[in-house]
Structure 1
Amino acid sequence: MSEISIIGLGWIGLPLAKILSSDHSVFGSTTSADKAASIQKEGINAIQFALVPFPQGKGFQKLLSSQIMVINIPPRSRTSTGELFLEQIKFLRSMVDQSSIKKVLFVSSSGVYPEANRKAAYTEAEYLDKDLTGNETIFKSELMFSEDRNFDLTIVRFGGLLGDERIPGKYVAGKENIAGHTRVNYIYRNDASRMLAWIIEKELWNEVYNGVAPIHTLRKDVYDQNVRDLGFEPPKSYQNASQDDDRLISGDKILSTGFEFEYPNPLDFPYSRKS
């Protein structure tokens, strides 16, 4: 049994904590005291901890006493320049360096790959720098944890995290000129949590893995399925089909370790529409 701390008991982190807690001692963080209390009632050791960007909270030192840390605090890139996120990562890296943590699992995003479409899928071996990345904030955050370290590190770059109440068709309902001819790079929520647990259990350290379901369905097919199954308004119009290549992210590397997706096809993702 290992002690594992999870920074960010959110949409992926909380299911991960529940998976790991059957075999490990798990502590996790959330920025809200009320949410920490609510999670405690579910049997998960939750601690209020925030990076503003300096660390703030009560008893958060417990998070730094584990052997393994999962860092799951995605940047709010749509609402900020990324500067605060990078300051948070900088503080967190400093805290890890001064702690007893020996292994770090860093949750990143496939948005780090270039935005250009091409015939070949983007793989973990892709060369990246600040001029080639599709998201400089994500790229810099990975560098902050990977450079000059004395701990084992594995980075997971997730594609679009969907399923349950996150429904693709909801975001395009009634809209015009939607791109439906490209293929998706999605992963179901619980498969993402299972993949993180798999990496820890199999000790797949000092690697980079893409977290993307192996079947890359057409966007239009996903939206149409959401319309049929969940009653969303369909998009008013789609962009004309293009002969251009897709921007595909390969998930073959994690499959080669023996990991199996419960939902390899985005058309099968379970959803729970809320009124």
Structure 2
Amino acid sequence: MIKRISIVGCGWLGMPLAKSLLGQGYHVLGSKRHNEELAELSAAGIEAYRLELNPQLDSDNIDALLNSDLLIINIPPGRKTNTAEFHIAQISNLLAAAKRQGLKKVLFVSSTSVYGPMQGVVDESSPRLPETTSGKALKQIEDELINDAYFDASILRFSGLVGGQRKPGRFLSGKTVSGPSSPINIIHRSDCIKIISQIIKRDCWGETFNASADLHPTKQTFYQLAAEQLGLAAPNFVDGTASNKVIANNKLKASLNFQFTYPDPMAWLQDNIEEAE
């Protein structure tokens, strides 16, 4: 039974996730890169530890941080250290430390970027053909986890992330954008947190899930309204190569009996929900 949860990466998603899990009665341990950031975790009731992956582990007490029943890895590939090898080494070193601590259960937060530019309906059985550096790194890390019999791991592939300070109206404002009729694949942070909570409650390990909202409005429809709502310049849409990529969430909903809080990205925008940063 899971009682203690370690979250490596307490940022935009990890921090509200940690608070949510605390509210559900779990003991939560979390990491930040710098000592001056730890007070925020401690103030929220999170057992706080400094951890930086350089890519070697730089921490005052990695064994204490990983003294738990579940490790949630929520560290996206960095922009400054933009090599697949660096991020792969970061996570490999973290997983080696988890093994030394006897920690078997892992939830790895990945991305639908592992599928690359694949078209049509994309589900968990679709081939992963990433083209970006981050997508290639995530694919290799997924493979490492899946192929290592020691770990009891699940992989969660999020599509485009919105909510909090990630306001989609800012993403493309004033830019020239092709493919106005392309469907978008996004998910709200609140649903990300609910999905992770459900995986833990249902003890759902050894699985891979795509996570994207039910509906897929066109790029032009969504981002034009998103920019307008923030009083920003709308993107300039031009004809060009359009995508018809749609991330399917059927497995997630069936396996976890999950219903999205924000199944319709347009409804979320139209409701103009005020959210904490």
Fold conserved (TM > 0.5)? yes
Matched, 1:123 2:120: no
CA RMSD of aligned residues (A): 2.0
Cα deviation, residue 263, structure 1: 0.8
Q: Is the Cα–Cα contact under 8 Å of residues 172 and 178 in structure 1 kept in the other structure?
A: no
Cα deviation, residue 219, structure 1: 1.3
Which SS does the other structure have where 1:73 is aligned?
Answer: coil
| Number of residues of Structure 1 aligned to a counterpart in Structure 2 | 267
AA at the equivalent of 2:16: P
Q: Is the Cα–Cα contact under 8 Å of residues 71 and 104 in structure 1 kept in the other structure?
A: yes
Q: Is the Cα–Cα contact under 8 Å of residues 67 and 100 in structure 1 kept in the other structure?
A: no
Which SS does the other structure have where 1:238 is aligned?
Answer: strand
Q: Is the Cα–Cα contact under 8 Å of residues 228 and 234 in structure 2 kept in the other structure?
A: no
Give 5+ residue unaligned stretches, structure 2: none
Give 5+ residue unaligned stretches, structure 1: none
The corresponding residue for 1:20 is 21
Q: Is the Cα–Cα contact under 8 Å of residues 183 and 243 in structure 2 kept in the other structure?
A: no
The corresponding residue for 2:238 is 239
Which sits farther off after the overlay, 250-259 or 264-273?
Answer: 264-273
Cα deviation, residue 167, structure 1: 1.8
The corresponding residue for 1:106 is 108
In 2, Cα distance between equivalents of 1:123 and 1:103: 24
Deviations along 1:137-165, one digit per CA (max 9) or x if unpaired, are: 11111112222231211000000111222
5 Å-filtered alignment, 1:67-82, equals 67-76=69-78, 80-82=82-84
In 1, Cα distance between equivalents of 2:127 and 2:170: 35
AA at the equivalent of 2:91: I
Percent identical pairs in the alignment equals 31
Question: TM-score of the superposition, structure 2-length normalised?
Answer: 0.89
Question: TM-score of the superposition, structure 1-length normalised?
Answer: 0.90
Matched, 1:252 2:250: yes
The structure with higher relative contact order (CA 8 Å, sep 6+) is 1
5 Å-filtered alignment, 1:1-275, equals 2-22=3-23, 23-76=25-78, 80-118=82-120, 121-128=121-128, 132-134=129-131, 135-235=135-235, 237-240=236-239, 246-256=244-254, 257-267=256-266, 268-269=268-269, 270=273
AA at the equivalent of 1:219: K
Cα deviation, residue 272, structure 1: 5.3
Q: Relative to total residues, which structure has the larger helix share, 1 or 2?
A: 2
